[in-house]
Structure 1
Amino acid sequence: MKLIITLLSIFSLSAIAPVQAAERYIDDNLFIYIHSGPSTQFRIMGSVNAGTPVDVKQWDKEAGFAQIEDDRGRVGWVDANYISETPPALTQLPLVQQELEETKQVLAEIEQSNNQVLLDKAHTIEEQGVQITNLIAEKDLLTQEIDTLKLSNETLQTRLNNQSEDVQMQWLIRGGAVLGAGIFLGLIIPFLPRRRKKDPHWT
């Protein structure tokens, strides 16, 4: 009988294993009760709110309880199912909301910056479009002026050619007239009567 009691005691002691102190958190329940021993049959010492950081002293795997020390310095046993290594969502929610707001702010700034860049590009494209339109209009105007100058040049060249032909014709006519007059005089002069000289022997 004593042997059985000794074996049960050893087994109970091995089931309650001390652990190195580590910070854990009470899970998402609103609160859990702290008991004086590793069971709900032990006296309730108080309660711990969700998200409270606690130090785990030891685990009773058989009973499913953990001995903890809360932020008020109380040492007692709680249901191990409500012990978590990460902060519960209830306590992380404000941080997540803050990060969400910061992310929204950054995205809004990026969007505003992108909109400004797009607006500047659109304005630049519009200005370039106006400049291109003006350059095309100037090119068309210069083309018209060049065509007008070409036409005027051709007209002047035609007049100059006509004047040159007129001058040549006038010179030809004048030369022909002079030549005709010379020929006429050459033909007429021999037939003109000459004055006879007085004979000195005549008295």
Structure 2
Amino acid sequence: MKKRLSLSLLLALSAPVFAQEAAHIADDVYVFTHGGPGNQYRINGRVNSGEAVTVLNRQNQYIEIQTESGRTSWVPAEFVATGESKLSQLPALETALTESRERIVVQDQEIADLNSQLSSISGSNVDYVNQVEGLEQEIRRLESEIANMDQSNLIRWLTHGGLVALGGVLLGLLVPYLPKRRKRRDDWF
């Protein structure tokens, strides 16, 4: 008993919420409306695709709708889609498309600016690489000169030292053969 009561209460509470559901006629059809929930009822109008409607009731495979003009009628359930129609979304989508195109133009300009900056930086980079290579060659040349100068200084010092040593040896060999001075004799005593 409690289950039946709670189930009927649940259905009663859900019916008013369901009765006011926002929907639209499917975007790809043109629908004739009927005076009741079936084809046997008289056609009393038509609803264009994408038109916004409010779902009032469901019976069998038909839905009772209310159009924006306030007219109520029945249409097959397969032609009613819930939510916002593509037709009503179109202005927002067109605005978004326009904004996207404007952003693309701005981004294309930014890309062109960045590419020009990149090419100028690349040109500067090539210049810097050439300068670095030139400076490295100059450093190698100067290091080679320093090494050659060290070697020539070493050879010069060795030559001078050898000449001094040779002169000393020759002088040492010649000194004994030099005439000796005779000692003076003092005959005073």
Partner of 2:136: 139
SS in 2 for 1:148: helix
Moved more, 170-179 or 154-163: 170-179
* C-alpha distance 102-162 of structure 1, shift in aligned 2 (>3 A): same
SS in 1 for 2:141: helix
Which one of the candidate residues 56, 66, 70 is aligned to 1:69? 66
* Partner Cα distance (2:112, 2:147) in 1: 52
* Partner Cα distance (1:164, 1:57) in 2: 122
Partner of 1:80: 77
Residue 178 of structure 1 deviates from its aligned partner by 5.2
Letter of the aligned partner of 1:23 in structure 2? A
Say yes or no: does 1:55 pair with 2:54.
Answer: yes
* C-alpha distance 163-73 of structure 1, shift in aligned 2 (>3 A): same
CA RMSD for the aligned pairs?
Answer: 4.1
What TM-score, normalized by structure 2, do the two folds share? 0.60
SS in 1 for 2:20: strand
Residue 80 of structure 1 deviates from its aligned partner by 2.6
Q: Which runs of 5+ in 1 are unaligned?
A: 1-16, 191-203
Instruction: Kindly provide the CA deviation profile for residues 71-108 of structure 1, in whole angstroms up to 9, marking residues without a partner as x.
Output: 00112222332122134445555655655665666677
Letter of the aligned partner of 1:20 in structure 2? A
Say yes or no: does 1:158 pair with 2:155.
Answer: yes
Residue 69 of structure 1 deviates from its aligned partner by 1.3
Partner of 1:22: 21
* C-alpha distance 154-68 of structure 1, shift in aligned 2 (>3 A): closer
* Partner Cα distance (1:167, 1:174) in 2: 10
| Percent identity of paired positions between Structure 1 and Structure 2 | 20
Q: Which runs of 5+ in 2 are unaligned?
A: 1-14, 185-189
Report if aligned partners of 2:37, 2:74 keep a CA contact under 8 Å in 1. Answer: yes
* C-alpha distance 72-177 of structure 1, shift in aligned 2 (>3 A): same
Larger radius of gyration between Structure 1 and Structure 2: 1
* C-alpha distance 148-38 of structure 1, shift in aligned 2 (>3 A): closer
What TM-score, normalized by structure 1, do the two folds share? 0.57
